[in-house]
Amino acid sequence: MIICRTKADMRENVRNWKQVGQTVGLVPTMGYLHEGHLALVRMAIQKADRVVASIFVNPTQFGPNEDLATYPRDEKQDLGLLAAEGVDAVFLPSEEEMYGAGGGTHVDVPDLSGILQGALRPGHFRGVSTVVTKLFNIVAPDIAVFGEKDYQQLTLIRQMVRDLDMPLEIVGHPTVRESDGLAMSSRNVRLSEDHRSEAVMLNRALDRAQEFAKTGPAIAELEAVVMSRLAQAPSAEVKSVDIRDAVTLGELQGALDRPAVVLLAVRFGPVLLIDQRVIAPVT
């Protein structure tokens, strides 16, 4: 497995692969890898001849009061996991290598970056879309794989790729969960024992929404059902419960009459967890 710490090195390796007709898949990560990340890697291996995983904790997507300094990191462990999966190369740039001394140019998808999680975390999605664009320009992948847990991020990246005519396919992978249903996240290790036991309520709330959706309820009724289930976690601080069009993330009103996505953002102590589920009425 090749470890590339500079953009020039990464580009040279990709150039060599493409000169012999090989396709390239990219799995962007911020490291501290778990089974959810490795599932993305395995999907990329199925779809491309060569696979690159990037590890970069991107400072521009963290707000001033967010957990950049405490975000978990373990480079040695990450590299061991990626090597075991058969990844061909890992792009491991420093912040200086990635952004240099300037960093004055940004990529934004305004229709999607300021709503939902973007309203809770101003500037977050501008940071995401900018760094993902840079990764696409450096690695030049034919496909890139992202998890559906970050549903708004996946939707935003798909629109960005369409709008800017980027020559690659964006592939979404279903959310990978722990045995008790909690969505896998690098932040889970920061949950206290009590918060960890309560956090499973996110998945249970989504299960209830999925079942209730079969009756074709009003959107407001669905929201109430989800909030009621989340209330069973005493320490949960519900930041947002949103039910949006599953394709556009547009607002929905009246009865549920099309596929929708339930988006949750819930804080347990210092840890903000997100989760999602696409639901639909029975037709």
- Residues assigned a catalytic role: 37
Residue type, 81: L
User: CA 236, CA 44: separation in Å to the nearest integer?
Assistant: 35
Is residue 160 within 8 Å of residue 185, measured between CB atoms? Answer: no
Known binding residue 34? Answer is yes
On whether 61 is known to bind a ligand per the annotation, the reply is yes
Q: How far apart are CA 277 and CA 126, in angstroms?
A: 24
- C-alpha dist (Å) from residue 211 to 10, 216, 245, 280: 46, 10, 18, 9
33 labelled as ligand-binding? yes
Instruction: Establish whether 171 is an annotated binding residue.
Output: no
Sheet holding 24-29, edge to edge: 2-4, 89-91, 50-55, 24-29, 143-147, 169-173
Is 173 labelled a binding residue?
A: no
The response to whether 21 counts as a known ligand-binding position is: no
Would you say 186 is a known binding-site residue? yes
- Is position 153 annotated in a ligand binding site? yes
CA distances from 146 to 149, 192, 211, 227 (A): 9, 28, 26, 28
Q: Any known ligand binding at 76?
A: no
The response to whether 176 counts as a known ligand-binding position is yes
- Residue pair 212/278 in contact (Cβ under 8 Å)? The answer is no
Binding site for (R)-pantoate, residues? Answer: 61, 153
Binding site, residues? Answer: 30-37, 61, 147-150, 153, 176, 184-187
Binding site for ATP, residues? Answer: 30-37, 147-150, 176, 184-187
Binding site for beta-alanine, residues? Answer: 61
